[in-house]
Structure 1
Amino acid sequence: MAFSRRQFMMRTGILGLAAAAPLQALYSRAAAGQTVRGVGYGPLIPDPAGILDLPRGFKYVAFSKTGETMSDGTPVPGAHDGMAAFAGPNGAIILIRNHELSPDSDTATIAPATKLYDSLSKGGTTTLVVGPGPERKLLKHYVSLAGTYRNCAGGPTPWGSWISCEENTSTPANDTSVRVPHGYNFEVPILARGPVNPVPLKAMGRFNHEAVAVDPKTGIVYETEDNGEGLFYRFLPNRPGRLTEGGVLQALRIVGMPQAITKSGFPLNTPMAADWVTIEDFDPVEDTVAIEGFAKGAAQFSRGEGIWYGNGEFYFTCTDGGASEEGQVWRYVPGASADEGGTIELFVEPNDPEVLDNPDNIVVTPFGDLFLMEDGDATQYVVGVNPEGQLYQFARNALNENEFAGGCFSPDGKTFFVNIQTPGITFAVWGPWSS
């Protein structure tokens, strides 16, 4: 899961090219809105089925489509979103998939009343078990979390679970379509065989959650917020791996730049020292977590969405960040201890919709690139970013203009799983990754 530019260039024998074509020059061209393209895996080949265009040599299978009957007898819910893959028993792959469903959605994650967090809410997660072997056969799929609100993304944990995030902060006081407050994270063990008891992780904050990523060395959980004036958070658990036992919620502040607005005007590839401010009212009656953090000097990130951990670093997207509001990717490197703030830097900002169109979910690939799932206008792509900062197109939604979501890799690195959110389809993709 490495993503070190220097290590990448040393492995591929091109470290000496840095003098002739400095990385900073690539980033500077990107910041100026100029196209910075990499070759990637070559041109995309039109899919005869008109669903998913991929480079030559790659194949896919589609499964668990909205409306199909699952192993538990309930229909597959719609709005497939964030997802992660885990190693299961006997070589199987376990996928846990979010469903970004609101109370007024046409479909729902269906569970017994005792397993619903909110009887009026339709979001949640489904678990898919994919068999070993080259055929990537779906063995079973079923509901694993229900009664939540707009489960957009989330993230895997190193202790064997998926954190599913609510992207809504409705309460009964301001929204008659809900019966309990929303805006929380929920944990789903990978071996859950049916709907779990939905326990809101309140100490992790009540806000417009998007995604999380865990530092496996410390157990600290990093969180993004899908809000134009959102913050970048970390949760220091009282007991790593036991999120229900509480902890401390903090928001990132750029040293020497209190209340920084990061949407535009920041140089690329320029690490900035960071520290963290503590959020006292982490479970407010009103949606005030970001307001408190910003008042204490925390930096604003415009619509923070997907986040992923790799090689001791965290990469997260801001969907409408950038001078042209086409999206950014930020890189955070933690300090040696929780008392050290680490560094934050702007990693990608092409300002060109032909290169990158509003990235949402993100994954660090086993071969060292980033894969970004677009959620913009017109044709949508899975966009790769290589360690030189060059962008390339890996997959195209040939079915419609709906977003990609949930990109993740199997534990052995051979299969890429991804969703088209609507009409709700999950794909397994494989091919000549080594090329």
Structure 2
Amino acid sequence: MIPSTSRRDFLTLAGSASLGFLGFSQFLATPLHAQVPSEVGYGPLLPDPKGIMNLPKGFSYNIISRKGDRMSDGLLVPGNPDGMAAFRGQKGKTVIICNHEMRASAEGNGGAFGERNALLSKVDRSLLYDAGKGEQPELGGTTTLVYDHASGQVEEQFLSLAGTTRNCAGGPTPWGSWLSCEESTLTPAGDNKCEQAHGYVFEVPSKMKRGLTRALPIKAMGRMNHEAVAIDPRSGVVYLTEDSGDSLIYRYLPTRPGELLKGGQLQALVIKGHPSQDTRNWETLTTPTFPLRKFFDVEWIDIKNVESPDNDLRFQGFEKGAARFARGEGMWYGNDGIYFACTNGGTIGAGQVFRYIPSTDEGKPGEKQRPGKLELFAEPNDRDIVKNCDNLTVAPWGDVVLCEDHPHPFVAGVTPKGEFYKLAENVGYESEFAGGVFSPDGSTYFVNIQGAGLTLAIKGPWRKA
């Protein structure tokens, strides 16, 4: 596959003040007010005759991947599909990279290598991050799917990252790769079959040719319970969430934009003038409520000892005045900003969505005079509206689209004005929605039902940008 923007092109453009949008059609740069749809939502959700997923009138779904099915490389589709991204492939195809939130298991337990990991001999173990001494490899990682829009089918599927653990979410890069995040701080000291310390981010190219990518941890991004990442294509700065009830929001300033393995500085977000701000808004807290739809200036503090074996980066941040968030999860770039979900935030713990608008001098000395700004974008505190939002994306028409992490989940949309509506309802399985993402042409929304191990493609009369 040849991405619409190569890494070389990105590196050439990243330092230019005129750098605009790089490569993803769903990442928009038009003003927010121009993207508000004429009507909110797509109407009521209609009962599904198959009893799996209710959708609005005119919409349909197709199951394109199931756990346990044989893939093109002879391995099996792993279970627990989670975060995803979609890239433009050759001949009108879409390349999807899908995380799998799996752990090591002597029995295999839904991993790519089958029962008792009998298929492990089919892969080059040197490409795995943690082969578990050849006995119990970590079963997380990614699969890559090549989707043909004409047939509505996957024509190629293969394991593309292996030997990692609990690959939860991540994020696409402007140069056409996927950053896959480990939501784990497993170490060999805690598991005698484990060979490596975990809790890192890995980069996977969006190639169409089958084969494993060598698993190389981006250690300078820190060791923690990583969840998701998003990159501002104008600056190359990487933003990161952490899945913890008392988490930080981080950013990574790469030494060389677009070459993340070359090193960089990890930092944590501070609300300027409000050190140690608690944004969670839980009713049990005595701290002042963090207000809705009000922008606050932000500054960033350096995080040291980023590979700490003690899973204590957030505590270091708190000591330096970093803001506290309630389980930062999904994160996505769109509408010239970074949106992220806090799954357990809000007065009743039903979830929040924040938006960060980067400085025009993000990561540079000028940001002290022109700081980035953070707002609490949405906090409905009504479980009938949204409950435990997790993965999110920005739709081609500018709405934020949320996957709920709940036994009876919905896919919900949020307009730039903060109006909520329902896009899909899982009625077939007691399992969360995960990984929702639009194809580059905006025609298809791909989403996972995690516990069932299903990936679905939804088509319908989507609005246009």
TM-score past 0.5 threshold: yes
How far apart, CA to CA, are the structure 2 residues paired with 1:244 and 1:282? 14
Match of residue 85 from structure 1 = 86
Contact 2:225–2:242 at 8 Å: present in 1 too? Answer: yes
2:128 maps to 1:112: no
The one of 449, 452, 457 aligned to 1:423: 452
* Structure 1 gap segments, 5+ residues each: 13-37
* Match in the other structure for 1:254: 271
Q: Give yes or no for contact 1:328–1:359 (8 Å, CA) kept in 2.
A: yes
Task: State the match for 1:302 in structure 2.
Answer: 326
C-alpha contact 2:340 2:354 (8 A) present in aligned 1: yes
Provide the residue aligned with 1:327 in structure 2: 351
TM-score, normalised relative to structure 1: 0.91
Q: Mapping of 1:146-161 within 5 angstroms?
A: 146-161=162-177
Of residues 369, 373, 377, the one that matches 2:399 is 369
**Cα deviation digits, residues 72-124 of structure 1 (max 9, x gap):** 11110000100000001111100000000112471223443222111231100
Q: In the TM superposition, what are the counterparts of 1:41-56 in structure 2 within 5 Å? A: 41-56=42-57
Counterpart in the other structure of 1:33: none
Question: C-alpha deviations, 1:257-299, integer Å up to 9, x for none?
Answer: 1111110021110000000000111111211211111111111
Question: In 2, distance between residues paired with 1:77 and 1:142?
Answer: 10
Amino acid at match of 2:161: L
- Post-superposition Cα deviations, 1:109-153, rounded to whole Å, max 9, x if no partner, equal 3443222111231100000000132x3221010000001110000
Superposition map of 1:142-181 within 5 A: 142-181=158-197
CA distance in 2, matches of 1:229, 1:388: 28
What amino acid does structure 2 have at the position aligned with 1:60? Y
Q: Is 1:380 aligned to 2:409, yes or no? A: yes
Q: Give the Å deviation of 1:177.
A: 4.6
Determine if contact 1:109/1:147 at 8 Å carries over to the other structure.
no
* Residue of structure 2 in register with 1:201 after alignment: 218
* Deviation at residue 410 of structure 1 after TM alignment: 0.6
Paired with 1:350 and 1:109, the residues of 2 have a C-alpha distance of 40
Partner of 1:409: 438
Report the equivalent of 1:278: 302
- Aligned-partner Cα distance in 2 for 1:324–1:255: 26
CA contact (8 A) 2:429 2:452 kept: no
Tell me the distance in 2 between the aligned counterparts of 1:6 and 1:431. 24
Q: 1:137 aligns with which of 132, 140, 153?
A: 153
CA distance in 2, matches of 1:109, 1:66: 9
Write the mapping of 1:183-262 to structure 2, written as runs, cut at 5 A: 183-191=199-207, 193-262=210-279
Name the structure 2 match of 1:23: none
Whole-angstrom CA distance in 1 between matches of 2:299 and 2:152 = 44
**Cα distance in structure 1, aligned partners of 2:463 and 2:179:** 31
Which residue in the other structure is 1:6 paired with? Answer: 33
Q: 1:109–1:145: 8 Å Cα contact kept in structure 2?
A: no
Match of residue 389 from structure 2: 359
Aligned to 2:17: none
1:288 aligns with 2:312: yes
> Partner letter of residue 298 of structure 1?
A
Moved more, 283-292 or 67-76: 283-292
CA contact (8 A) 2:179 2:204 kept: yes
Q: In 1, Cα distance between the equivalents of 2:396 and 2:196?
A: 40
**Contiguous gaps of at least 5 residues in structure 2:** 1-26, 114-122, 132-136, 282-288
**Is the aligned partner of 1:336 residue 2:360?**
yes
Q: SS of 2:86's equivalent?
A: strand
Name whichever of 368-377 and 151-160 sits farther off: 368-377
CA distance in 2, matches of 1:394, 1:165: 27
Aligned pairs, number:
407
For residues 221-245 of structure 1, the C-alpha deviation after alignment (integer angstroms, 9 at most, x for no partner) is 1000001111000001111110110
- Counterpart of 1:27 in structure 2 is none
Aligned mates of 1:213, 1:434 — CA distance in 2: 24
* Residue identity matched to 1:67: G
Identity of aligned residues (%): 50
CA distance in 1 between counterparts of 2:375 and 2:40 reads 25
Kept in 1, the 8 Å contact 2:44–2:57? The answer is: yes
Shift of 1:4: 4.5
Provide the TM-score with structure 2 as the length reference. 0.85
Q: How far apart, in 2, do the equivalents of 1:5 and 1:352 lie?
A: 25
The CA distance in 2 between the partners of 1:242 and 1:382, in whole Å, is 34
Q: Structure 1 runs of 4+ off > 6 angstroms?
A: none
Superposition RMSD in Å: 1.5
Corresponding residue number in structure 1 for 2:284: none
Structure 1 residue aligned with 2:337 = 313
CA offset digits 1:338-381 (Å, max 9, x no partner)? 2323011101111111111100000000011111000024x210
1:396 pairs with 2:428: no
- Please give the secondary structure, in 2, of the residue aligned with 1:173: helix
| C-alpha distance in 1 between matches for 2:346 and 2:152 | 38
